[in-house]
Amino acid sequence: MPPGQPEFEGIKVKVLHARSLGFVGAVLALLTMAAAVSFGLLMLFGKALLAAALVKLLWPAVFSTAFTAWVFGAEAVPYWKVFLLMVAGSVVAKLLRPGSWGR
């Protein structure tokens, strides 16, 4: 810059890339965050989700309604109870045999 006061009159600067998206941008950011959290939960509990779905489908074919009512307190197998049992079972398996699960 030359010495003295620079003259900025008549200079117009357009910044098109810095406009805010507003509400749409906030919604897109929240959807991105929800997708990341969902993917993380799926990576953590994917095996337990799949195992619980398999148990829920196969339970009526293996056990009677009276036994199901005695175990779960209902005539149908509640998915969330089976899921929690699968999560607890995987935690116990990890505690008992940590070397068999890889890293």
pLDDT at 94: 82
Q: Report the candidate in 86, 68, 85 with the shortest Cα–Cα distance to residue 77.
A: 68
Position 68: which residue type?
A: T
pLDDT at 15: 62
Q: What are the average pLDDT values for consecutive 10-residue runs of the chain, which has 103 residues?
A: 66 65 85 96 90 92 91 88 91 81 59
Q: Which residue has 């941008």 as its token pair? A: 25
Residues 6 or more apart in contact with residue 53 via CB below 8 angstroms: 79
- Record the pTM: 0.61
